[in-house]
Structure 1
Amino acid sequence: MAQNPRDIRNRIRGIRNIGQVTGAMDMVASSRLRRAQASAQAARPYAQRIHEILQEVAAACPALEQHPLLQRRPVHKACVVVFTSDKGLCGGYNSNVLNLAEKVAQGLTASETRFVVIGRKGIRHIRSLGLPIDQTFPAPGKEVDIQEISAIAKTLITGYVTHAYDEIHLVFSSFVSAMRTEPTHTLLLPLGTLSEAVEAGEDGGETPAPARKEIDFIFEPSVGKLADYLLPLYIEVLINRALLDSSASEHAARMVAMRNASENADELIKQLSKTYNRVRQASITTEILEVVSGAEAFHK
């Protein structure tokens, strides 16, 4: 099939423009990834101290284990919290999380499973499946906002305490490195025992708290008041970790996708340039032959 040099040249120009866009998006994603990693690093000392306090309080006050957020009960209604992005162009980031969320929901023994979804991509997908969504939240912007964390935590804690949910599960993308992220499922509520809660936090990537000597605590005004403050705060820490990991994973996936797209654009431009040169050379050769043939015919 004959190819027009002008069409090839226009295609090269279009692909070069796309490559410039994907290259710029690669740089933006790289910058945001560094900020997300720095935010996750900065949050670790706070999370670690919460773990230490939970360890100390669990050892000093067994009565705290009776708090409603720690109590297990028969599971009739479950909630799956799904963390996705508002924007696309991030490879398989959203599809991997959503596939895991579907598997988690199908594997639950609850008679009813409902969803709380963060991010427009997840909202659109869950609704397309006809699954019930109780609450939606926007995905974090450039940085994770403490108000977003508090709003999500309040919704989930209220749902659990009022028996709207008997179990709450988190499904998000755990950030390992810029080149590796893993869809992750963890049980948020009930927390079980305090020792189980601390172990779950350590499994989630936090640094284990160092061994401490036994302390004789004096609780003011009461153990119940402490639990009412400390346990919701701990849940916010877990949600914050999921949001930070999700944000970093999204930027990492977008960086890799845009970098691959830029490299593919460069490779395609090279191939089209060779094709353009070959077609142009053939066109010039044809024109020369036509001129020579015309000259010979004229002399005859």
Structure 2
Amino acid sequence: MSAIASVTAPLLTASRSSSLRGASVKHGSNAPARVAAPRGALVIRNASPKEMRDRIASVGNTKKITDAMKLVAAAKVRKAQDAVIGARPFSESLVKVLFAINQRLSGEDVDVPLTKQRPVKKVLIVMCTGDRGLCGGFNNFIIRKTEQRVAELKAQGVECKLITVGKKGGVYFNRRKDQYDLVKRFNMGQSPSTQDAQTIADDIFAEFTSEEVDKVEMIYSRFVSLIAAEPTVQTLLPLSKEGEVCSVDGVCVDAANDEIFKLTSEDGEFAVKRVKADTEVSEFEGVMQFEQDPNQILEALMPLYMNSQILRALQESLASELAARMNAMSTASDNAKELKKNLSLVYNRARQAKITSEIIELVAGAAAA
């Protein structure tokens, strides 16, 4: 087991650098520079031939595992991507419908608490991570983004509450209850459903309508493409005045730049073909006539809005996690291949040197005789 652990750790650690390539991470300029050394020299120095053979076998077994995990993630990420692409136009159209109703009722005496802007004293943050690791820096990056957002709000004198979705984020913030007001924890699951979104929406709805919080934000990783994910802080409540789904930076989280990828094989290796997704959302221009009380219509649409936005965020986060895992396992497999090659090279050189030494001894003995 020690041999496997010594091989697996550097492979998975190296794979972290390839995940979430769409995000820029700056390192301190004072960090000491590391000089790259051959992997074989790092792990088999002064090792016996048997130990070297065992380590070569361990690397080979590790590569089989990472290859299998890469294939599983690749199969799942396409399904998750289809769910993301299909959900975006509906959620955006629903927001436009709500905005149109809001505009129509702006001159009437109708109280709509979920669209009412009030002074922000407390913010509820819903953050989405994964349930498992081995996906590069995906979980850590979302956690750091959440910590940064909480620090920004506290610096402005705003109190923060947290709801976590995903075991990794839940465990992290649960261990730091003295620093963060953790309200509730949920698991992400392998396939987010409307029931999961409804459960989360009920807690959010209760917090906002009871005026326990004045604003609800959602932090998740927006799926951009197979090799890029964009950490997003989206304002969930109150509803945007412009009728758009936007992040706190004013960037619209729309479907205009969606990208569908298709996995193919070229020369026995994975290849990715990218195609622009046709997800244009038309403007809502209907003339509305209310047969029911407008309050009843809005009360029926608001839960649907909440569910669609939360489900969308869960699906995007899951797709980003699977893509990050696929990239991490791909890099780990490449590292294993390189490491096995270097180990075999050093082993063969040592074996050749031993054989040469024995031949020289035999020749020297024969000459002396």
TM-score (normalised: structure 1): 0.90
Please state whether the residue corresponding to 2:348 is helix, strand or coil.
helix
Q: Deviations over 1:143-163 (max 9, x none)?
A: 221110001111101111112
Q: 1:83 aligns with which of 112, 128, 144?
A: 128
- CA–CA distance in structure 2, aligned partners of residues 245 and 295 of structure 1: 75
1:44 aligns with 2:44: no
Tell me which residue corresponds to 1:158: 206
Aligned pairs for 1:14-163 (under 5 A) are 14-62=58-106, 63=108, 66-108=111-153, 109-130=156-177, 131-141=180-190, 143-163=191-211
Residue identity over aligned pairs, in percent, reads: 33
Letter paired with 1:121: K
**Is the CA contact 2:217–2:237 (under 8 Å) kept in the aligned structure 1?**
yes
Aligned-pair CA distance for 1:61: 2.8
- CA–CA distance in structure 2, aligned partners of residues 53 and 288 of structure 1: 86
Structure 1 179/192 Cα, relative in aligned 2: closer, same or farther at 3 Å? closer
After TM superposition, the structure 1 stretch with the greater mean CA deviation from structure 2, 79-88 or 202-211, is: 202-211
Please state whether the residue corresponding to 2:189 is helix, strand or coil.
coil
Q: 2:235 aligns with which of 174, 187, 202?
A: 187
**Is the CA contact 1:60–1:214 (under 8 Å) kept in the aligned structure 2?**
no
Tell me which residue corresponds to 1:275: 346
Which blocks of at least 5 consecutive residues in structure 1 are unaligned?
none
Aligned-pair CA distance for 1:97: 0.8
1:6 aligns with 2:50: yes
- CA–CA distance in structure 2, aligned partners of residues 188 and 213 of structure 1: 24
Aligned-pair CA distance for 1:199: 5.2
Aligned-pair CA distance for 1:114: 1.4
Aligned pairs for 1:126-275 (under 5 A) are 126-130=173-177, 131-141=180-190, 143-193=191-241, 196-198=242-244, 200=246, 203-206=252-255, 209-213=281-285, 215-220=287-292, 222-275=293-346
Please state whether the residue corresponding to 1:204 is helix, strand or coil.
coil
Letter paired with 1:200: C
Aligned-pair CA distance for 1:59: 4.0
Aligned-pair CA distance for 1:273: 1.0
- CA–CA distance in structure 1, aligned partners of residues 320 and 245 of structure 2: 24
Structure whose residues are more often helix by fraction: 1
**Is the CA contact 2:99–2:243 (under 8 Å) kept in the aligned structure 1?**
no
After TM superposition, the structure 1 stretch with the greater mean CA deviation from structure 2, 49-58 or 154-163, is: 49-58
Structure 1 199/241 Cα, relative in aligned 2: closer, same or farther at 3 Å? closer
Aligned-pair CA distance for 1:285: 1.3
After TM superposition, the structure 1 stretch with the greater mean CA deviation from structure 2, 153-162 or 55-64, is: 55-64
- CA–CA distance in structure 2, aligned partners of residues 16 and 214 of structure 1: 62
Letter paired with 1:185: V
- CA–CA distance in structure 2, aligned partners of residues 117 and 64 of structure 1: 37
- CA–CA distance in structure 1, aligned partners of residues 151 and 95 of structure 2: 32
Structure 1 281/186 Cα, relative in aligned 2: closer, same or farther at 3 Å? same
- CA–CA distance in structure 2, aligned partners of residues 25 and 65 of structure 1: 54
Aligned-pair CA distance for 1:44: 3.5
- CA–CA distance in structure 1, aligned partners of residues 109 and 186 of structure 2: 32
Letter paired with 2:200: I
After TM superposition, the structure 1 stretch with the greater mean CA deviation from structure 2, 281-290 or 179-188, is: 281-290
After TM superposition, the structure 1 stretch with the greater mean CA deviation from structure 2, 224-233 or 58-67, is: 58-67
Aligned-pair CA distance for 1:169: 1.0
Q: How many corresponding residue pairs?
A: 294
CA RMSD for the aligned pairs? 2.2
- CA–CA distance in structure 1, aligned partners of residues 297 and 115 of structure 2: 14
Structure 1 233/125 Cα, relative in aligned 2: closer, same or farther at 3 Å? same
- CA–CA distance in structure 2, aligned partners of residues 214 and 45 of structure 1: 17
Please state whether the residue corresponding to 1:114 is helix, strand or coil.
strand
Q: Deviations over 1:179-222 (max 9, x none)?
A: 000111111112253xx3435399211466434545141232x1
Letter paired with 2:150: A
**Is the CA contact 1:117–1:135 (under 8 Å) kept in the aligned structure 2?**
yes
Tell me which residue corresponds to 2:15: none
**Is the CA contact 1:153–1:235 (under 8 Å) kept in the aligned structure 2?**
yes
Please state whether the residue corresponding to 1:198 is helix, strand or coil.
coil
TM-score (normalised: structure 2): 0.74
